[in-house]
A = this chain, B = another copy of it.
Amino acid sequence: MKLLITGGGGFVGARLARTLLARGQLDGKKIERLVLTDIAPPPADLLADARVEARTGTLLSQTEAIGKEDFDGVFHLASAVSGECELDFELGLRSNLDSTRALLDALRARTAATAKVPRFVFSSSVAVFGPDPSFAWPGTVADDTLPAPQTSYGTHKLMCEYLIADYTRKGYLDGRSARLMTVTVRPGKPNGAASSFFSGIIREPLAGVESVCPVDPEVSHPMSSPSQTVNGLITVYEATREQLNGRLALNLPGLNVRVADMLAALEEVAGPKVRALVRFERDERIAAIVANWPSGGTAKRAEKLGLKPYSQFAEIIREYIADCQAGPNAAETLKGMQ
């Protein structure tokens, strides 16, 4: 089978690609070709795999070519992130709305020509939810919570969910939308995302570096590990239409955890010296953004597919540590634990 991962050079996309290549099959079919599109090339280990073909450039510039070949399945992960979209309205429209529309239309045209219906998994986001003064905001968001996005990013993700549901209803695709919870612990450097600190307060202390938490320890949020997120995307791909039981998007599982719980887990796993590298210094701008986020999530439809969150945040930290130990820079990334 031939698969496409848009955003295949990114953190989640590259991890998904590695997992698929290691499995060798998806939905019982052998993976022969894995096309990764992104604005930057994927990591070298992926490029070294003979099954991988990398294409670099914006997704919009690549949809015409995509519409001329047969893909059995697509993981559509390419996206500008929330902070970028708030700063650049056009970027959000182009990267998250127009690109998805163009990709869907390219696949639809191909389906019309070949009568083969590709499976399509869209990475949506917990950002489709938000508080609106007109409605009671449950805080903990379920599969059927009324979406009220408070960002352009969340708006476009939600619009794409509904568009994919309609293309699926018409038989142009076999689509499903998985709403990702916040993925921690992300490796690498802090970025401009307001959620960046959720990874930073674990990653930096483990590396022996001080970290500032900009929100109160009582702030709670649904979290997922990288491996769980990738596993969720694959499970949603492999689910039958009957298992999905309806066309709407579904929440991926998250562990609903307070910042205080995260730091307690850090101390449990890595000791008090590492924990002591985190200090609280409230940032009103970030605290205001985070106050619009759900304090937790439920994922009953994903649970029916066998997906479960970790039961303890310590497991998410241990996954990150294991990833670091398997990587080339463990001496740096885990310097705080020495």
Contact = CB atoms under 8 A, between A and B. Distances in A.
A279 interface: no
Contact of A170 (B133, B152, B248, B301): B152
Nearest to A155: B166
Contact of A132 (B132, B148, B158, B247): B247
A165 to B, nearest CB: 7
A203 to B, nearest CB: 32
Nearest to A135: B144
Nearest to A85: B166
A132 B170 contact: no
Contacts of A150: 169
Taking the full assembly, how many copies of this chain does it contain? Answer: 2
Interface string A117-144: 0000000000000001111000000011
A245 B135 CA distance: 9
A155 B149 contact: no
**Majority-rule SS of A interface residues:** loop
Contacts of A162: 147, 149, 155, 158-159
A250 B144 CA distance: 19
Contacts of A244: 134
A: contact size bracket: 20 to 34
A146 interface: yes
Nearest to A133: B246
A155 B247 CA distance: 12
Interface in A267-324: 301
A200 to B, nearest CB: 28
A170 B93 CA distance: 13
A11 interface: no
B134 A245 contact: yes
Contact of A163 (B132, B134, B159, B170): B159
A163 B159 CA distance: 8
A166 B144 contact: no
Contacts of A158: 162
A165 B150 CA distance: 9
A165 B155 contact: yes
Contact of A246 (B134, B166, B169, B246): B134
Interface string A147-181: 11110100100110011011001100000000000
Contacts of A133: 245-246
Given A144-B146, A146-B144, A132 B166 contact: no
Which of A135, A162, A246 is the most central at the interface, judged by chain B CB atoms within 10 Å of its CB? A162
26 contacts: A89-B170, A132-B247, A132-B248, A133-B245, A133-B246, A134-B143, A134-B144, A134-B244, A134-B245, A134-B246, A134-B250, A135-B143, A135-B144, A135-B246, A144-B146, A145-B146, A147-B162, A148-B248, A149-B162, A152-B166, A152-B170, A155-B162, A155-B165, A155-B166, A159-B159, A159-B163
Interface of A: 89, 132-135, 143-150, 152, 155, 158-159, 162-163, 165-166, 169-170, 244-248, 250, 301
Given A134-B248, A145-B146, A146-B146, 16 more contacts: A132-B247, A132-B248, A133-B245, A134-B244, A135-B143, A135-B246, A135-B248, A144-B146, A147-B162, A148-B246, A148-B248, A149-B165, A149-B166, A155-B162, A155-B163, A158-B162
